[in-house]
Amino acid sequence: MATAGKVIKCKAAVAWESSKPLVIEEIEVAPPQANEVRIKIVATSLCHSDLYILYESLDKSLFPTILGHEAAGIVESVGLGVTEFQPGDKVIPLFLLQCGECCFCKSPKTNRCEEAMKRHAQKSTEHSRLTCKGQKLQQFMGTGTFSEYTVMNQMAVVKIDPAAPLDKVCLLGCGVCTGYGAAVNTAKVEPGSTCAVFGLGAVGLAAVMGCKAAGAKRIIAVDINPDKFEKAKVFGATDFVNPKDYNKPISQVLMEMTGGGVDYSLECIGNVECMRSALESCVAGWGVSVIVGWTDLHDVATRPINLMLGRTWTGCLFGGFKGKDGIPRMVKAYLDKKVMLDEFITHNMTVDQVNDAIELLKNGKSIRTVMRFSPQ
């Protein structure tokens, strides 16, 4: 491409400081260095993790940053040593690297990566090729997809089917894989089982979809926003519970509904009290509860007897998927109409409207807003 080897000036939504609106700026994106790929972002969506960093995180050193980590795009150019990608390839950026060489990548037991952990410990501007007004910008989760172009290590990029619509499969970069995988990979939901999903955002709805795909007989959707119940039904929910309708713990409600507790529960909110409720909603003996929602602000606790009676409490990142292996399979499942994506999208906007998208998500008025850098 004509831009290969050159600095690209492009549009980006910059988070200069926490709890403030994002600012549309012209930034400079340097050419990719060795083992790096420069990507033109075609579509990016807003995830609650972006809001967590903007409004809840106590780490102010994360700014200024380019948020966004759920996206899809086209390779514009590649650096030296890159053999897996070439200009024109359709790709999805990965916030969870897969080097393919470390002991974690070689194990089927985990989707952790030694290289990812090493990079997480480094200053996050060290690998950034993005600057604005002479200042280096951090790339949230190593991705920074609220920029028209971004540069990433080839370990953090996966090539996908050229037939895939980028404005749909971008959702596989985080939320849908996270919820769906939590059910099928981590909980390992079994046919005929009873499940409870706490939180009906995109991750929770994807967990509902995963439970249904795994053959669950009964899927109880739990949320304090009754407007989300109809949407949950689309993905396979059979029952709906609003904790505000009861004057007793939601775990007690679910145990009474199911005659002792659910087989599987998935907490998709990121609230430590809900995590405890989800665990205590499980049947003693074999119940499995998975922590899916992200938070790093508080400790989570329960009484030891709740585990000693045979419940299992676990968690996962990105639904247990290894990105380079799992995302192409999920893209194929979507193209084969085995996984829903369109149904998650409630709004389509341009990146100029990112602050409107943030307000919608903050107020529970959207599931996923997909943004482009120019109108379709």
Whether residues 212 and 241 share a domain: the answer is yes
Q: Could you tell me if 163 and 197 lie in one domain?
A: no
Q: What is the pTM of this model?
A: 0.94
Q: What is the mean pLDDT of residues 184-208?
A: 98
Q: Within a 13 Å sphere around the CA of 350, how many CA atoms are in the beta-carbon half?
A: 8
pLDDT of 53 higher than 90: no
Residues 131 and 60 in one domain: yes
Cα distance from N-terminal residue to C-terminal residue, the chain: 22
Q: Are residues 50 and 100 in the same domain?
A: yes
361 & 302 share domain: no
Strand 218-222 to 239-241 pairing: parallel
Would residue 279 count as lying in a domain? yes
Q: Are residues 150 and 186 in the same domain?
A: no
Q: Does residue 354 form part of some domain? A: yes
Q: What is the CATH number of the domain that holds 306?
A: 3.40.50.720
Reading the block at residue 17, the tokens are 């400081």
Torsion angle of C-alpha atoms 25, 373, 340, 258, degrees rounded to 10: 20
Structure-block tokens of residue 85: 């990608």
pLDDT value for 122 = 52
Domain count for the chain: 2
Could you tell me if 83 and 69 lie in one domain?
A: yes
Instruction: Note every long-range contact of 232-239, with CB atoms under 8 Å and residues 24 or more positions apart, other chains counting.
Output: 232/197, 232/200, 232/204, 232/205, 232/208, 234/340, 234/343, 235/205, 235/206, 235/208, 235/209, 235/340, 235/343, 236/208, 236/209, 236/211, 236/212, 237/197, 237/208
Same domain, 200 and 75: no
Continuous H helices in 33-174: 48-51, 114-121, 166-169
**Do both 130 and 68 map to the same domain?**
yes
For residue 30, tell me if it sits in a domain.
yes
- Indicate whether 123 pLDDT > 70: no
Return d(Cα 257, Cα 69) in angstroms, integer. 38
Mean pLDDT of 119-135: 77
Contact assessment for residue 250 and residue 240, using Cβ atoms and an 8 Å cutoff: no
Helix (H) or strand (E) holding 360: helix 354-362
Regarding whether 241 and 161 lie in a shared domain, the answer is no
Mean pLDDT of 143-169: 96
Higher pLDDT, 296 or 320: 320
One domain for residues 104 and 23: yes
Judge whether 350 lies within some domain: yes
Residue 93 has pLDDT above 60, yes or no: yes
Is 59's pLDDT higher than 80?
no
Domain limits for position 353: 8-173+340-372
pLDDT at site 376? 61
Same domain? 308 vs 195: yes
What residues are paired with 314 via a beta bridge?
A: 290
pLDDT greater than 80 at residue 126: no
User: For position 247, what pLDDT does the model report?
Assistant: 95
